[in-house]
Amino acid sequence: MNNIQGSYTSFASQLSLEKDDILFIASDIKQMALDSRSNGERFDVNTFVESFQDVLSDGTLIIPSYTDYLKNGETFDPTKSKPSTGALANKVLRRKDFIRTNDPLHSVFAWGKHAEEIANINSDSTLGKGSVFDFLYSKKAKMICIDVDFQNSLTFVHYIEEKEKVSYRKPYNWKMKIIIDEVEAEKVFTFHTKKPWILTDLYGLQFQSAKDGINQLYSFNKSTVQFFELYKMNDYILDYMKSGNKLYTISLKHFIKTITKRILRRK
């Protein structure tokens, strides 16, 4: 594990980033804020974001702003729907220099060189071909996970599962309302989701990818940071699956709970 320290304002500059990189950040910034307070420094989210913008002067910064609490048939408003991806995304929602994409479940905030290209993504699949995850793969983006496990941050793995047409997931057609420039439109798209008895389990992948050096681990003060290239992680996951390793577990309890919810919703 690489050990780096200092002010949160120097964190981005201590990573192996090039000025033209495309960087995807998944985060829980609570520990960084606590460390800053312990060091007599006020943690400012905008300053933290801008420290990455300074490093990525000719690159692109992407922050997930998923709304995975929305259900089939509900409404997504990119300007108002609260992200379920933490404090960083909710702060960026108030900024004017990021563009939010229109995917009703897996929107992202984008800033920089490729922001307009990302904003124009309009895939029929929220996870698969033509989605933002396809963009991340094709452009060889990098990803950092700040104090979050793969289990709660590596949505990219579901893009791979959809490409590979895994048997434990299946496509569902969802119909959502999207509000763009105060005009409501209906969008039908595919959500490739797990079957009712399946639970995602990425702890083994996280451990093994770190052990094999694909996932680089850093400690920053008291925070744990994972850093990797999504193109390489894609190939690693494919090999991981082909070797018989699973990205899921089977749960009878989860199956009963899911079916019960579906029955109650119909009543």
Q: Give CA–CA dist 12/57, Å, rounded.
A: 12
CA 239 to chain centre: 22
Dihedral angle of Cα 15, 19, 22, 24, to the nearest 10 degrees: 30
Q: Listing from the earlier edge strand, what are the strands of the sheet with 99-100? A: 2-4, 216-220, 223-229, 142-146, 22-27, 60-64, 108-112, 99-100
Nearest Cα residue to 160 out of 219, 93, 233: 233
257: pLDDT strictly greater than 90: no
Band of residue 40 on the pLDDT scale cut at 50, 70, 90 = very high
Domain ranges of the chain: 2-266
Can you read off the two tokens belonging to residue 261?
Answer: 């919810």
Which residue type occupies 20? Answer: D
Burial class of residue 186 (count of CB atoms within 10 Å of its CB; 0-12, 13-18, 19+) = exposed
Lowest mean pLDDT among 36-50, 94-108, 163-177, 250-264: 250-264
Q: What is the per-residue DSSP string for 122-166? A: --SBSSSTTSHHHHHHHTT-EEEEES--GGGT-THHHHHHHHTT-
pTM of the model: 0.93
Band of residue 9 on the pLDDT scale cut at 50, 70, 90 = very high
What are the start-end ranges of the H helices in the chain? Answer: 30-38, 45-55, 87-92, 115-119, 132-138, 156-163, 203-211, 230-242, 252-266
